[in-house]
Amino acid sequence: MSKSSYKNSLLQITLPTLTSFNEHHRELIELAVNYSSISLIIHVSCKEIEFYSNYPTECWIKIRDLLNFLYISGTKVSYENFKHFLEIDVIFEKWNGYNIELVKEKIFDVFFGSEAEQSRLQEFNSNRKKASLSEINIHIFDTKTPPPPKDLHDQNHKLNENQKIYQTVAVGGTFDHLHAGHKILLTLTAWISGKRLICGVTDDCMLKEKKFKEYIEPINTRIAKVSKFLNAIHQNLLYEVVPIYDAYGPTITDPDIHALVVSKETVSGAELVNDERQKRGFGILEIFVIEVISSTNPSLEEVELKKLKLSSTYLRELCKNSEAK
């Protein structure tokens, strides 16, 4: 069977703990990317995700590290194989709010998994049969590295029972050619949101100085892609994906926002938001900072990101070069 034999694929990964990902899973992702041409969903089952979803800020770092591992592994291989626009989504079972195998809008060509996942993949097809849906081909991968032991468990469930819940959380960005860095940012924002997530998408009028600006996706396209992704990863939130025409957006007009998720590079902008909110008599936002995946981020060199040009600018340049051929 040749590589890229399937257009739309699902890779099932079951983890005993949030921190039990290893080379076995990296191999599975590499194989799945090699055999996929349009889209790949990495479907993660982990009981700790269910447990910690009630204590979202307690495992912020663990969720971030897991997302980084999965998205980086997939993106690195896809770039190495010149599949820069392969759509890779990481979806957490249960937390997403629906059964992935029963989504009629998503037509899978294949279910991927290791030998250990065979019964789970057969269960997917059994569920599809009950729903009068056709069976999906199952493709089992062999890996050199064994999976982690099933009886692993986290010894450190020391939880803050009085942790603060953030009912409304905001995030913003350009979100052009939605890539892994954007998806990690959006997933982490959804993870800590209690009821409502506001996402500001930079309007076209603010992007005139961007490099390769003629290849920036229109605002309506970017809003649609963000909305689609958010509803795919977690259906139990109210999403407001809106265009923004300045650096603040709804963060200085909506008094009910409680937290703001930003990248390390935009912390200063978050401070300006809080300054403006104070002037207007609004509550100060709790700021959550994540490190954006990029080839220039020195703190992520340990996962071999130095050569990984993960940015919207790079993808726009690829569009330009492709058009020139």
Residue with tokens 């071999």: 304
Domain presence at residue 303: no
What does the mean pLDDT of the chain come to?
88
Whether residues 98 and 202 share a domain: the answer is no
Residues 174, 293: one domain? yes
Q: How far apart are CA 226 and CA 244, in angstroms?
A: 14
Query: Is the same domain home to 184 and 130?
Result: no
Q: Is residue 148 scored above 70 in pLDDT? A: yes
Q: Does 152 reside within a domain? A: no
14 lies in the same domain as 58: yes
> Are both 135 and 242 inside the same structural domain?
no
Please indicate, yes or no, whether residues 137 and 194 belong to a single structural domain of this protein.
no
Tens digits of residue pLDDT in 275-308: 999 999 999 999 999 875 543 343 444 444 445 5
- Separate counts of helices (H) and strands (E) for the chain: 8, 10
* Separation CA 261–CA 286 (nearest Å): 9
Please check whether residues 136 and 170 belong to one and the same domain: no
Task: Confirm whether 15 is domain-assigned.
Answer: yes
Note whether residue 67 is domain-resident: yes
Q: Can you tell me the distance from the alpha carbon of 229 to that of 71, in angstroms, rounded to the nearest whole number?
A: 14
Domain extent at residue 283: 166-298
Model confidence pLDDT, tens digit, residues 201-210: 999 787 777 8
Contact 111, 6 (CB under 8 A): no
- Count structural domains, the chain: 2
Q: What is the model's pLDDT at position 86?
A: 95
For 179-202, the pLDDT digits (tens) are 998 999 999 999 999 999 999 999
- Same domain for 198 and 290, yes or no, is yes
The residue among 197, 204, 196, 186 whose CA lies nearest residue 243 is 204
Residue 129 and residue 232 in one domain: no
Identify the CATH number of the domain in which residue 176 sits. Answer: 3.40.50.620
DSSP 256: T
Task: Give the pLDDT confidence of 57-109 residue by residue, as tens digits.
Answer: 888 899 999 999 999 999 999 998 989 899 999 999 999 999 999 998 778 99
